[in-house]
Amino acid sequence: MKSLSKGYIGKVALLLLAVAVYLFIPFVRNNINSAVSMLKTVDVESAREYILSFGVLAPAVSFMLMVLQSLIAPLPAFILTFANAGLFGWVNGAILSWSSAMAGAALCFFLARFLGRDFVEKLTTKSAIEKIDEFFKEYGKYTILICRLLPFISFDIVSYAAGLTSMGFWPFFAATGVGQLPATIVYSYIGGMLTGSVRTFVIGLLMLFAVTTLAFMLKKIWKDKKRSAEAE
């Protein structure tokens, strides 16, 4: 009981510290508010201009933006992937986007595991967590792969949900890395072309790619389930 009390006090202290930093340090508060507002526009050009405005710190700022969007579901991540490709080239942009998304996913996982379900439900929604609970317990790695490949669905809630289950960090981390790598490479490669009608065309292709991938994964899940039922 004593150790549990200390753990609870530590969690509360951490939350209070984070809130205090945000409320009482104007530089932190203003930059976070500005970044969130930019991400909410879901505009690649705005993201590029925002990141580029930090000069030599642009890669570090992009990294932090990806981590930030991971924490605050459901801010979009794909616009940062596109922006990084346009600013740093598709190879360097892909590396930056992939590594920063991995860092954000890991942070969500550990926050959920450390701070618990109540914290996660405040950052997301209770209903969203409840809907994913059963599916994640049975098809955890498939949930990660599917959600990472869908460009307009926040992956953050899956990272939080993983932290609430008994799933180990390394299996989660490995599935996250494998699941997001193909999409990151594809999105980065075409990121520099996202202008005017080309942008609309490419977004359409991405949606087609995502739906096709989803159909393939659901078919695989159904086959695995059927095989398990036959084995019983």
Q: What is the pLDDT of residues 118-174, one digit of tens each?
A: 888 877 778 778 777 777 777 766 777 777 766 556 678 888 888 888 888 998 898
Instruction: Write down the residue that tokens 């508060």 correspond to.
Output: 29
**110 versus 130: which is more confidently predicted?**
110
Q: What is the mean pLDDT of residues 26-50?
A: 81
86 near 192, Cβ under 8 Å? yes
Confidence of residue 59 (pLDDT cuts 50, 70, 90): very high
Look at residue 182 in the predicted model and tell me its pLDDT. Answer: 80
Give the C-alpha separation, 114 to 96, whole Å.
27
* pLDDT at position 26 over 60: yes
**100 versus 185: which is more confidently predicted?**
100
Look at residue 131 in the predicted model and tell me its pLDDT. Answer: 76
Total H helices, total E strands in the chain: 11, 0
* pLDDT at position 2 over 50: no
Instruction: Tell me: cis bond preceding 76? Omega within 30 of 0 counts.
Output: no
Percentage of the chain modeled with pLDDT above 70: 72
28: which residues sit within 8 A by CB, 6+ positions away?
Answer: 21, 22
86 near 93, Cβ under 8 Å? yes
Confidence of residue 44 (pLDDT cuts 50, 70, 90): confident
How many other C-beta atoms lie within 10 A of the C-beta of residue 161?
Answer: 29
Kindly list the domain boundaries of the chain, sorted by start residue: 1-38, 41-231
Please state the pTM of the whole predicted model: 0.76
Look at residue 102 in the predicted model and tell me its pLDDT. Answer: 94
Task: Copy the structure tokens of residue 228.
Answer: 């398990």
Percentage of the chain modeled with pLDDT above 90: 16
Helix axes 156-164, 90-115, angle to 10 degrees: 40
Task: Copy the structure tokens of residue 223.
Answer: 């086959």
